[in-house]
Amino acid sequence: MSSRETTPARGNVIERAGERIANAVERWMPSPFLFAVILSYVVFVVGVVVEGQGPADMVFHWYDGFWAFLTFAMQMVLIIMTGFVIAYHPWVNRGLQRLAAVPTSSGQAVVLVGVVSMALAWVHWGFSLVVGAIFAREMGKAAYRKGIDVHYPLLCVAGYMGLGLTWHWGLSGSAPLLLATPENEFIELGIVDAPLGTSATIFSTYALALTALSIAFAAIVLYLLTPPAERSTGISEYIPEEELFATATDGGADDEVADGTAAGDGAVGESTPESGASGGGTPVPAERIDNSLLLGGLIALTGVAVVAYLFATEGLDALNLNVLNFAFLFVGLLIYTRPAVYRERFGEAAEAAAGIILLFPFFAGIQGMMTGSGLAETMAEGLLAVSSPETFPVIAWLTAAVVNLFVPSGGGEWIVLGPSVLEAAQEMGVPIGQATMAYAVGDAHTNLLNPFWALPLLAITRIRAREMFGYAIAMLLALIPFLAIVLYVLPY
């Protein structure tokens, strides 16, 4: 990237700092997989030096950790895959294209992508991650068409902001949903007597106020980080123009997505891997069954009805990880309806989740070393020991933020560190729900440094981690004073 000159219009301190951080990170940041490998070595050495563990002990802690959270890993994969499938439906794609046509400046474009990503992450982090990536790409295309010079790496960071700020306070937040799940680990450990409903966590006034204030502040920072036209690198520098406009984001022709006839819209008559017919001939009976509206629609409605019944009888407290995945699984089938098309979309979603499937065991191994050696407990107890009822939310945030650098799994971290956090909260008289949500802030915040969860976004936007994470780190740093103040002053 060539050197850039500061202009009065956009040459503010935040924008210049963001540019310097971005340039440094682009030179030095390793790939996400190597990032996980390096962290494995770091935790290994710290466990030996700080906790006095033998090298062989650390190796077996690492091995044991690989298989400790297979159930949770599958839940996380389902969250991202169900979100991916719904996000790639042509109805959603057309809506994003219309929304991308709204901004008239680069700052507006970046802020709109960021706000949409953060708002959707509160609903479903997997949906937000995929929609945020698609929207960043669509916004880059729309800006290119209109001659608006918008910096594509910052657009990609805006599309990732849901994972970097709001996801863990929302409907798919691992920590609050684990507490709401019957017979969860915290009940078995005797820390809580019964499941803690989401009315005390996700839907509390504390969490809702925290979410609204954070989205507003992050939108302002994104606007201030936006470089001027002469220092912006557009989408065509990352995706060749002929490829960018030859196909839509979901792999179908633009006009097919526009008129709803793409395979993702359930069109019959196109050959699929499930069908026994070729070309556009008369479908064979097996193909008719595979594309049956009746078979797909009936089971989809049944699944949606089950979810509706649970919420009708149990209220918002019915929400947990299993209910969330069940709901999105059958909502996706309902909007696609045809089983064969839905299965194809899941095949595409598996590719987007491949990086997470590879990296999750490595980060689970890191967690195994931290847990088995006692390092995680030492870190948590050390931080929480210096807290008071007034500073507890800030310390809980910092605890999660530090551990998330090594183990970017909200639910996995919470299983390990949650007992220490909740026991300390109870000793100080801090409500469990608020302690959980303060912890969730830190777990989301340092996703802006660790590229693990950005893997699907990187695949969709066709950008490398080191090309966008400089601006992600700039966002992380800008959020630190804001989060410290708001967590300290926001009343329970």
User: Between these two residues, 359 and 54, which has the higher pLDDT value?
Assistant: 54
Q: How far apart are alpha carbons 252 and 262 in whole angstroms? A: 6
- Provide the 10 A C-beta neighbour count for residue 48: 16
Give the tens place of pLDDT for each residue, 91-141.
Answer: 888 889 899 999 999 999 999 999 999 999 998 887 788 889 889 989 999
Of 91-95, 193-197, 351-355, 384-388, give the lowest mean pLDDT range: 351-355
Q: How far apart are alpha carbons 137 and 293 in whole angstroms? A: 32
pLDDT band for position 281 (cuts 50, 70, 90) = low
Task: Give me 402's structure tokens.
Answer: 């530090």
Q: How far apart are alpha carbons 159 and 454 in whole angstroms? A: 10
Comparing C-alpha atoms, which of 133, 140, 156 is closest to residue 80? 133
* Ranges 98-112, 331-345, 393-407, most confident: 98-112
**Measured between alpha carbons, how far apart are the two ends of the chain, in Å?**
47
Residues 6+ apart with CB under 8 A from 110: 150, 151, 154, 155, 158, 222, 223, 225, 226
Backbone angles phi, psi at 252, to 5 degrees: -100, 160
DSSP state for residue 449 in the 8-state scheme: T
* Section 362-377 average pLDDT: 83
Give the tens place of pLDDT for each residue, 130-142.
Answer: 889 889 989 999 9
Position 214, amino acid: S
Q: Is the pLDDT of residue 388 over 50?
A: yes
Locate the domains of the chain by residue range.
13-254+316-489
pLDDT band for position 249 (cuts 50, 70, 90) = very low
What is the Rg, in whole angstroms, of the alpha carbon atoms belonging to the chain?
23
The mean pLDDT of the chain is 81
User: Between these two residues, 77 and 488, which has the higher pLDDT value?
Assistant: 488
Give the tens place of pLDDT for each residue, 458-490.
Answer: 878 888 888 898 899 999 999 999 999 999 998
Comparing C-alpha atoms, which of 401, 397, 422, 394 is closest to residue 488? 394
pLDDT band for position 30 (cuts 50, 70, 90) = low
Q: Is the pLDDT of residue 49 over 80?
A: yes
Task: Give me 94's structure tokens.
Answer: 């057309």
Per the CB < 8 A criterion, the answer to whether 112 and 155 are in contact is no
Give the tens place of pLDDT for each residue, 171-214.
Answer: 888 889 888 888 777 887 788 888 888 899 999 999 999 999 99
Q: Is the pLDDT of residue 292 over 70?
A: yes
Residue 231: predicted pLDDT: 86
Q: Is the pLDDT of residue 239 over 80?
A: yes
Burial class (CB in 10 A: 0-12, 13-18, 19+), 187: middle
